Chains A and B, each alone.
Chain A
Amino acid sequence: MLQITCPHCGARAESEFHNGGEAHIERPKDPAALTDAEWAEFVFLRDNPKGLLLERWNHTQGCRRWFNVARDTVTYEILAVYPMGSQPPALDPRRYV
């Protein structure tokens, strides 16, 4: 069970949280300008990396706030927690082939 440090509540068990998928996916600012393929890209295509993943989590059983997490998808190690709207800190992730 992961232990996730909510920026507002502190370290809590994974079961209190909900994963919201890849972070930094920006909703198109000019919706009408996109083709179907570009919309499909925005809605469905996701990075699914083996290694560093930036993702959103919500503290559903606690403060219900969203925040970003940098996590290694192989070791499940949480490398950083940072607020919504900000960029991830510099990280030196492991690389996997």
Chain B
Amino acid sequence: MTPRYSVFSLLRNALSYHENWQQAWRSPEPKARYDVIIVGGGGHGLATAYYLAKLHGIKSIAVVERGWLGGGNTGRNTTIVRSNYLWDQSAALYEHAMKLWEGLSQDLNYNVMFSQRGVLNLAHNQHDLRETLRRVNANRLNGIDSEFLNAQQVKEMVPIIDLREGGRYPVLGASLQRRGGTARHDAVAWGYARGADALGVDIIQECAVNGFRIENGKVTGVETSKGLIEADKVGVVTAGHSSVMANMAGFRLPVQSVPLQALVSEPVKPIIDTVVMSGAVHAYVSQSDKGELVIGAGVDGYIGYGQRGSMQVTEETLAAICELFPLFRRMRMLRQWGGIVDVCPDASPILSKTPVQNLYLNCGWGTGGFKATPGSGWAFAHTIAKDEPHELNAAFTLDRFRTGFLIDEHGAAAVAH
């Protein structure tokens, strides 16, 4: 039984010099077989395992992770959470995630520091304004909180912004989702891992998947660096490495893996409370609880698996940020890095069955993965457990590229792909 975390447990353990805390999750050796194996120990994979165990009563589940938990995009993103997407299908999925976010710390008994400090998407020209208003109204009709602020209201909310009146990229207004905000990315992986572990899920780190055992078009196991592990069902949630996994299973994906870069500044006292995003200038910024400015860029223009930042993207992004916030120029960049995001042609994810029976795929989240984590895991767990998608993810098939039922969210991300 995993002991609960609380201020009382903290006090009790402080008295014993913190020497009696238990492992947040076990590190078991893999068993010979499981009902379900989830490939990929990031936020989405761990959430999938958690909901499979919690909501679908599946007892025998393993998560296999090549490296360490949350070491991919879960631990490399800019932690923004929002659900103000344009299309009904996306809005429903992200809003479901938002509702789960709102109770996640309590559900997991792990403080994921979900902070609803509001997300602003700036509009810089008439085209932006038109698109923003369309989206805000669409959000309202989908029951998602969404507001429009004029330039003056933006200034009141973010006093340090330079509206650049008459300038090259004036701020004409912004959409605001007050329920949006940020969460602590590592805690999401760790909280789900701890929660899943408590429900009996085996979390196996440093276990690379080298292939799938497929018999008569049906997956029956996973070849790993720790040997063959048999399974009735396998869910693949490996973000930037999805194409590599699909190749192992014998099919191709409409996905490209591209670096998405981010950086943080040195920490300073609170200077900006909300998340500010600008699609037109390809940049977004928020301030972490530690005080660092967390700044994100657009995706790189070509396929890459190097988890690193590049100079010109940093320069372009910071030029944009310093235009909006000229007072940031004297602050300093502390770290820069890249995550590998998997992008679909219509900028929407794939949460779907695959050509291989009992093999399920969750990928293509592009720049939207972190915010979707709880919803993605929830819907993917349903898809695996029932062998059919939930209404929430029914549209996000692999097949839509054949049929043409695209969910074109270009422009939904703060940064166009």
**Are the C-beta atoms of B402 and A19 separated by less than 8 Å?**
no
Complex Cα spacing A46 to B253, Å: 7
Complex Cα spacing A1 to B312, Å: 6
Per the CB 8 Å criterion, the residue count for chain B at the interface is 26
A39: nearest chain-B partner, CB-CB: B402
**Are the C-beta atoms of A1 and B254 separated by less than 8 Å?**
no
Indicate whether B305 reaches chain A with its CB closer than 8 angstroms. Answer: yes
Stretch from A24-32, A69-77, A79-87 contacting the other chain: A69-77
**Are the C-beta atoms of B253 and A1 separated by less than 8 Å?**
no
Indicate whether A93 reaches chain B with its CB closer than 8 angstroms. Answer: no
Q: Which of B244, B253, B257, B310 contacts A45 (CB 8 A)?
A: B253
* Distance (whole angstroms) from the CB of B369 to the closest CB of chain A: 16
**Are the C-beta atoms of B252 and A53 separated by less than 8 Å?**
no
Instruction: Note all chain B residues with C-beta closer than 8 A to A55.
Output: 302-303
**Are the C-beta atoms of A18 and B301 separated by less than 8 Å?**
yes
* Distance (whole angstroms) from the CB of B250 to the closest CB of chain A: 13
Q: A40-B401, A47-B252 are in contact. Are A1 and B303 (CB under 8 A)?
A: no
**Are the C-beta atoms of B401 and A74 separated by less than 8 Å?**
no
Q: Which of B243, B345, B402 contacts A36 (CB 8 A)?
A: B402
**Are the C-beta atoms of B257 and A48 separated by less than 8 Å?**
yes
Indicate whether A9 reaches chain B with its CB closer than 8 angstroms. Answer: no
**Are the C-beta atoms of B306 and A19 separated by less than 8 Å?**
no
A10-25 interface (Cβ within 8 A of B): 13-15, 18-19, 21
Instruction: Note all chain B residues with C-beta closer than 8 A to A43.
Output: 401
Instruction: Note all chain A residues with C-beta closer than 8 A to B345.
Output: 44
Chain B residues with CB under 8 Å of chain A are 208, 210, 241, 243-244, 247, 252-257, 301-306, 310-312, 342, 345, 401-403
Leading 6 A-B pairs by shortest Cβ distance: A48-B243, A44-B254, A19-B302, A40-B402, A45-B252, A44-B401
Chain A residues with CB under 8 Å of chain B are 1, 13-15, 18-19, 21, 36-37, 40-41, 43-50, 53, 55, 73-76, 96-97
